[in-house]
Amino acid sequence: MKNWIKGTVIIALFCLSFWVKPVLAQCAQCAASVESNAKNGGTSTAKGLNNGILFLLAAPYLAGGIGAYVWYKKYRRKNVQLEMREHKLNMN
């Protein structure tokens, strides 16, 4: 049952990756600044704005990834030996 669900999720994510729609979402001030700069023939403001958006998008994922890596390395156990009792426990 779990393999079926996992396969369905993978197929759904794969199909959704091809369903891309361009989005023009910016704050009013940024849109006005880029539009006026584009009318004057400049392209550096638009590239700088796009780079800033990508930096702001990547920063939380990078911080979370580093935190997860540190947590994994710190709490991972190696060579764990379990000492099990030979006799059964009486739970009465």
Which carries the bigger pLDDT value, residue 2 or residue 12? 12
| pLDDT tier, 24 (very low <50, low <70, confident <90, very high otherwise) | low
Which carries the bigger pLDDT value, residue 17 or residue 10? 10
Q: What percent of the chain has pLDDT over 90?
A: 11
Which carries the bigger pLDDT value, residue 68 or residue 7? 68
pLDDT for position 91: 72
| 3-class DSSP state of 1 | coil
How far apart (Å, rounded) are the C-alpha atoms in residues 16 and 33? 33
What's the CA angle centered on 21, arms 20 and 23, to 5 degrees?
Answer: 130
Mean pLDDT, rounded, of the chain:
79
Q: For the CA atoms of 49, 52, 58, 59, what is the dihedral angle to 10 degrees?
A: -160
